[in-house]
A and B are shown apart, each in its own frame.
Chain A
Amino acid sequence: MTTTTTTTTDVRPAPRDESAEILIIGSGFAGLGMGAQLWRRGREDFLILDRAQQVGGTWRDNTYPGAACDVPSHLYSFSFAPNPQWSGFYTPGPEIQDYLVRFSEDEGLTPHLRLGADMLEAHWDPETERWTVRTPRGTYTARWLIMGTGHLADPRLPDVPGLDAFEGEVIHSARWDHTVDLKGKRVAVVGTGASAIQIIPELAATAAELVVFQRTPAWVTPRVVKPYSAAVRRMFERAPHTMQRERDDIFWFAESSYAQRRGVPAALDQVRAQALGHLAAAVSDPELRERLTPRYLPGCKRVLVSNDYYPAMARDNVTLEDSALDRVEGSRLFGVSGHGYEVDVVVLCTGFEAAQPPFAERVHDGEGRSLADHWSSGMAAFDSTAVAGFPNLFAINGPNTSLGHNSIVYIIESQIAYISEALDRVEHEGIRTMVPETLAQEEYVDRLQERAATSVWLVDGGCHSWYVDPRSGKLTLIWPDYAYDFRARNGHFTGEGFLSSASGEPEPMPVREPERSVALI
């Protein structure tokens, strides 16, 4: 995928045990961005742990054919590390992965990386007031633990009877097996979400036959095709304000689409008309068009962008099975409708374990209780960043941080600023422990849920999206407001809502005016 993989692969002999002031788990946008900002603030006492052998997170893991980002690249990158060389408005996955690998090197993070260090278990020790993280390559201790584990990390595998015994290959989109040749094969794609609509056009062009199992049709809008010429890229490089203008234009355009998520009638009508016009232009068969037409509010599930998905669905070698995959018998896949299809390969585009992240099973409080147990009715965090009962722990891109309408990197940068300011306070005031008050967290979460209740994600009973925790019906993945509002509320650390201790018993942390002038914001 890249030419620079070896330089960020940590090949030194693995030390058994290490300690640091700060441990960061994960080396995607969150972990690398956090490390870079710590380093830029003059801190060197941190380590970044990742289970894989290379940095990059989601963009390292998702190598399926057609993988690309549906957020424009000038916004889907760090504001403090702009890239004038993006090839176009939207860029393919490998280009983003290259960006992250280069970023990690340029920011001097290589010596801080501990790769192949899967966090098997983490616990807080109230006596030593430190975190201990066990990994296959050694045990790490630190005073501060920052989770950068992301929402799109662990593939979700559907519980379908007979799938285990399927006679051919089964591939999940996020764990693509490049040794499997799909040319001339009969292939089934399960799902019609963001990964599926990128994979389907690629497979339709190579497979002999393709059947697509669709539980719910997606809202699909046109994808802007705008390559940046060499001259434009040089303009961006020579006159960086022109690149910033491009980024700002993209950001504010995306922010304006938040009106759709609030269910503003005119905004919903506009996106409906755009998507249905896009469908009608690509699919002439009225019966197929009908079956591809969504019946829920646009935005309840992610609104997708593609120019080649609908044309692919209209191909002669592609069959739409508009029911969920129900069972597998031998090499035959059956939809809930009862229709069966003989296939050689199953491609699961079934998403990720987002609402109940596996990492939460592995993180334990001072009494040995897991974060997953704390989150048994849904993920929750104070300021979307710190968790009551878990001292000295921060989560980036954790509960209520994802966006359906704008770039997660903007949210991640806001959280990095918050955590950086918190750690600066800690340093200046000799704070040993810090934890949000339970009541503060409850008030914060209640307010968010109140806002979420009138959004397209929950109004009309929702649409069974992965943004909603199925156990409680709460919207736990999504930030239910503008991106700017997240930054305004959670982009600075004030101390409000926290208990801290420098020496002796924890007491409410004094509230300070936030630093407004940090370089990030």
Chain B
Amino acid sequence: MPLTASTVTRTVSVDGASVTCHDSVTPGELDRPLVLVHGTGGTTASHFGHLFPMMATRTRVIAVDWAPTADPAADLTVDLLVGQVRAAVDELLGSDAAFDLLGYSLGAVVAGQLAADLGRRVENLVLVAGWATTDVHQRLRNEVWRHLYDTSPDALARYTAFCGLSPLALRSLTPAMLDGALASLTADEFTARQMDLNARVDVADRLSAVTARTLIVSCAEDVMVPPHHQYELLGIIDDARLTTMTSGHAFFLERPAELMQIVDLHLREPDRHPAGAIIPETHA
């Protein structure tokens, strides 16, 4: 199913990997395209099922689905994923075009790195539930994840739901909805490689080179990448401001439209909040 009526989806070959890119093509009121980078185990459709088509009503949106490397035994690295995104963007936009960039979770690690590499080509950077250095709290979760991945897919699905959604969001699910969600929470070998990378992330030094105007988005009830990581990013990145949304890590299930508001209003008026600002969450 297409993300929007106008969206063109095709593959770009990067070092033997077949990377899928989605391009909404049609321009909008914003003058730069927006590039989206999904998170661990996700795709454009699963993580940006709301954000992609709805930001496409504001501007041209491009998103990249990562692909396994040609050599399945090779370790995944941040640079490898950065290379996939960069190749796809250069192919679709040309290698000089400026754009705005958003990454989520591991995609935020990738997007931050890409922004550091590209300098002024990335005008606005949005990092959602990102982090710079994996800490012991994350490693413990990662080790449990690995154990369950090796031993019990059913327990792994439950553990992922338990960690991914906020307690109130879980409670709002009917039994049928919970069963449906658990059935959809499967992990494959490529996801396992991304989890392996998650345990090794340490990009604090490289992120300090980011010059883009940056918005950091923190999910207040995130136990996978808790808010203290986003406050660290606020300290690392020079031109950064931070805002919060009430959600677990899985914002795309809990508050997809709130992230849409945050991104839409920020890109409409990116200078509204000075570097260093903590932008309060809005309430209905």
Contact = CB atoms under 8 A, between A and B. Distances in A.
A213 interface: no
A145 interface: no
Interface residues of B, number: 26
B53 interface: yes
A245 B284 contact: no
Nearest to A251: B284
A269 B1 contact: yes
Interface string A10-41: 00000000000000000000000000000000
Contact of B1 (A249, A256, A265, A407): A265
A484 B168 CA distance: 23
Interface string A448-466: 0001001000000000000
Interface string A238-279: 000000110111111001101100111111010000000000
Given A255-B257, A482-B260, A262 B284 contact: no
A8 interface: no
Nearest to B272: A516
Interface in B259-284: 260-261, 264-265, 268, 282-284
A255 to B, nearest CB: 4
A521 B282 CA distance: 8
Contacts of B139: none
A256 B284 contact: no
A258 B57 contact: no
B190 to A, nearest CB: 23
A309 interface: no
A269 B246 CA distance: 27
Given A79-B283, A247-B284, A248-B283, A485 B257 contact: no
Interface of B: 1-5, 45, 49-50, 53-54, 57, 168, 172, 246, 255-258, 260-261, 264-265, 268, 282-284
Q: How would you classify the secondary structure of chain A's contact residues: helix, strand, loop or mixed?
A: helix
A394 interface: no
Nearest to B1: A265
Nearest to A407: B284
5 contacts: A249-B172, A252-B257, A255-B261, A267-B50, A482-B260
A96 B1 CA distance: 42
A258 to B, nearest CB: 7
Nearest to A264: B53
A90 to B, nearest CB: 15
B123 to A, nearest CB: 21
Contact of A79 (B260, B261, B284): B284
Contact of B261 (A249, A484, A521): A484
Contact of B53 (A79, A259, A410, A521): A259
A244 B49 contact: no
B50 A410 contact: no
B257 A258 contact: yes
A244 B258 contact: no
Contact of B54 (A75, A259, A269): A259
B168 A256 contact: no
